[in-house]
Amino acid sequence: DATVANVDATQAGSTLSNSVTLSYTNKDGDTVSQTDTDDFTVVEPQITTSKSVVDLGGDGPGDTQADELYDVMQYTVTLENTGGATAYEVTAQDIASPGMQNVTLVGVTHSNGTDLLGTSEMNSGTLDNEWLFSGDASTPWELAAGESITIVYTAQVAAAWFDPVSTTPNHPNTVDADWSSQEGTGDPNDRVYNDATDGAGNPIYDVDGTQDTATASYTITPGTGSIGDTVWFDANDNGFQEGSEVGLAGVEVLLEVDFDGDGSVDYQTTTTTDANGNYLFDELQAASYTITVNPATLPAGTTPSYDLDGITNNPDGSAVYTLTAGEHTDRVDFGYTGAGSIGDTIWSDLNGDGVQDAGESGLAGVAVTITGDLDGDGDASDTLTVTTDTDGNYLFDHLLAGDYTITVDPNTLPAGVVQTADPDGGNDNTASLTLGAGEDNLDQDFGYLQTTAIGDTVWFDSNANGILDGGELGLSGVTVTLNGPGGVTETTTTDADGRYLFTGLAAGDYTITLTNLPDGVEATADPDGGADNTSSLTLSGGEVNLDQDFGYTGAGSIGDTIWSDLNGDGVQDAGESGLAGVAVTITGDLDGDGDASDTLTVTTDTDGN
């Protein structure tokens, strides 16, 4: 006996020769040789596979579409030996499409009619959704040339039911057969037919071809529902997306479903919000879905402010929504706000030491502005201004992690103050800082020393009531002279609003004198009551006196009568009475601002005046 060696030259169809030579010496002493040669052709086993699938609950043969969750799909696999030699140790490896469950072997039949189910096995492979079909250890499958085995198994459509048809139009299952040329695998000349390209007992080439694989695919009825829609930055933390609040781009949103109710996720998919913070899961089947925002993809320092089932009371970045067949909902929004804050006090530093000591109160009504990314859109030029409360405190909350600048508006500080404390040491009314995620930085305090000062307004008292009413304008360009202790004299000019200020003054007695007033005015208000364009006062150390206001009104008048000229001579004669209720308008500079287009209308009295 001789065994065909497992080498490259011994493939199906190869011709091999065996020769025998007989040599002997005849009676004459001559050597005689006779040679005989016999050729033979190498034959090999070859498994060819076929596969089909049908929906058992469908419309019969040829129906490969699953119509509902848990539909049972039946697969039929045939392994046929189309080679010229017996195939031993035949097995089938089936790679199922993801999302199938309850795979059950229901039939194994030899082409000679023998039922092999009782001596066959189905085992899980090393891969997900991999199944191995074979004879058992004592009865391995073998197929003589021309024989076949038919395998029938079923599987339920589970998570695959939720795959969108647009991305997963088909759900393929692929079977691959393996076999060997001899019974048992101990002989090194036993050729093992599988997809390996090297290894023990195999030449360096693919020895089982491609005819040993086959694929069958099923489809599902497309889902027609959808769930969306926005993840946004809730700047004011009120749970409503308002006009200026922007969506958060690039946030990952997870969709999950536990369709069997066992507490484990059976199917999940993700998407990412677009530039406007919008997301959409479409082609969805009817089911109860859990939608969750991945917190790792949110801007640093955010915290939930709204979700559909937590609303604003207990939002957690996740919501459950039960979708009916064909329903489209855009209600599953998620709001996030910043978890950080910046504050805290603008105060009067009475002793100028840069520390807020006991008894040093806050400065109310001071405008404070924050600059940074306040809405989560990546633009760090956003601004927001607040005003200090009665204790001099301010607060910016709902802030993201990032870089910020705090600026105090010096125009809203008391007159004559000098800065003594600044959080970053610049004493320039600003401070820059980096806020960590969820950090509360309440150390942004600004101190100011209030120096002695005198001010502040000269105005046109249009109704001559001695009170600076709303709408009454300041008189600009008025010269204000201050005379004080030790012969000190200072001069300034009122600004466009009629305001003036003298700062850095010593304690003592002062006189304020106004000159260069508009022509034709007379005093209606004078701080010391003299109505003489001057005011005298005594200033104590550290005092800021901003009550030195002067009011002026015009000294002229225009009138007088609209009458009934009975004889038409243009002269109001005795007996010619006035006309009452006639509207009369004056045009000119009525408020002292230099604009001569002002108008005022009055009505004549009962005498026509």
CA quadruple 21, 24, 28, 30: dihedral positive or negative? Answer: positive
Mean pLDDT value across residues 237-260: 91
Band of residue 134 on the pLDDT scale cut at 50, 70, 90: very high
Distance CA 177, CA 259 (A): 35
Distance CA 50, CA 560 (A): 117
Mean pLDDT value across residues 363-382: 91
Neighbouring C-beta atoms of residue 529, cutoff 10 Å: 8
% the chain with pLDDT above 70: 96
**Residue 204 pLDDT > 60:** no
Q: So what's the pLDDT on residue 172?
A: 92
Q: Are 456 and 537 in contact (CB under 8 A)?
A: no
Token pair 């009505």 is found at: 603
> What letter represents residue 404's amino acid?
Y
Average pLDDT value over all residues in the chain: 90
Planar angle of CA 44, 45, 51, nearest 5 degrees: 145
Mean pLDDT value across residues 417-421: 89
Q: So what's the pLDDT on residue 189?
A: 67
Mean pLDDT value across residues 177-194: 76
The predicted model scores a pTM of 0.63
Sheet of 417-421: strand order equals 346-348, 446-450, 417-421
Distance CA 317, CA 306 (A): 8
**Residue 395 pLDDT > 80:** yes
The DSSP bridge partners found for residue 513 are 481, 534
CATH code for residues 340-450:
2.60.40.10
Per residue in 30-84, pLDDT (tens digit) is: 998 999 999 888 888 999 999 999 999 888 888 999 999 999 999 999 999 999 9
Distance CA 399, CA 372 (A): 9
3-state secondary structure 188-254: CCCCEECCCCCCCCCCCCCCCCCCCEEEEEEEECCCCEEECCEEEECCCCCCCCCCCCCECCCCEEE
Mean pLDDT value across residues 556-560: 91
**Residue 124 pLDDT > 90:** no
Per residue in 482-514, pLDDT (tens digit) is: 999 989 999 999 998 899 988 878 888 999 999
H-run or E-run covering 369: strand 367-372
CATH code for residues 47-219:
2.60.40.740
Q: So what's the pLDDT on residue 399?
A: 93
Q: So what's the pLDDT on residue 606?
A: 95
Token pair 């995620």 is found at: 437
Q: Are 87 and 177 in contact (CB under 8 A)?
A: no
Mean pLDDT value across residues 166-172: 88
The token pair at 171 is 């759900």
- In the chain, CATH 2.60.40.740 covers 47-219
Q: So what's the pLDDT on residue 201?
A: 47
Distance CA 482, CA 335 (A): 60
Coil, helix or strand for 550?
strand
Band of residue 4 on the pLDDT scale cut at 50, 70, 90: confident
* 453-554: CATH superfamily: Immunoglobulins (2.60.40.10)
pLDDT-wise least confident of 177-186, 236-245, 247-256, 412-421: 177-186
Distance CA 27, CA 265 (A): 95
> What letter represents residue 91's amino acid?
T
% the chain with pLDDT above 90: 65
Mean pLDDT value across residues 264-288: 95
Closest among 370, 351, 361 to 430, alpha carbons compared: 370
Distance CA 71, CA 115 (A): 27
Distance CA 609, CA 607 (A): 5
More confident residue, 378 or 24: 24
Phi, then psi, of 62 in degrees rounded to 5: 90, -15
More confident residue, 59 or 481: 481
Per residue in 279-308, pLDDT (tens digit) is: 999 999 999 999 999 999 998 889 999 999
Q: So what's the pLDDT on residue 470?
A: 85
More confident residue, 97 or 185: 97
CATH code for residues 225-338:
2.60.40.10
The token pair at 303 is 């915290």
Band of residue 203 on the pLDDT scale cut at 50, 70, 90: very low
Tell me the CA end-to-end span of the chain in Å, nearest whole number.
148
Closest among 382, 451, 459, 468 to 414, alpha carbons compared: 451
Distance CA 604, CA 600 (A): 13
**Residue 185 pLDDT > 90:** no
The token pair at 21 is 């030579």
| Cβ burial, residue 53 (10 Å; 0-12/13-18/19+) | buried
Per residue in 311-344, pLDDT (tens digit) is: 777 899 999 999 999 999 999 999 999 999 999 9
Distance CA 592, CA 474 (A): 8
Closest among 285, 541, 499, 344 to 411, alpha carbons compared: 499
3-state secondary structure 155-166: EEECHHHHCCCC
Q: Kind of pairing, strands 72-81 and 47-55?
A: antiparallel
Q: So what's the pLDDT on residue 352?
A: 80
- In the chain, CATH 2.60.40.10 covers 225-338, 340-450, 453-554
- DSSP codes, 19-62: EEEEEEE-TTS-EEEEEEEEEEE-----EEEEEEEEETTTTSTT
Q: So what's the pLDDT on residue 205?
A: 42
H-run or E-run covering 305: strand 302-306
**Residue 469 pLDDT > 70:** yes
More confident residue, 126 or 564: 564
Q: Are 452 and 537 in contact (CB under 8 A)?
A: no
Band of residue 197 on the pLDDT scale cut at 50, 70, 90: low
Q: Are 477 and 494 in contact (CB under 8 A)?
A: yes
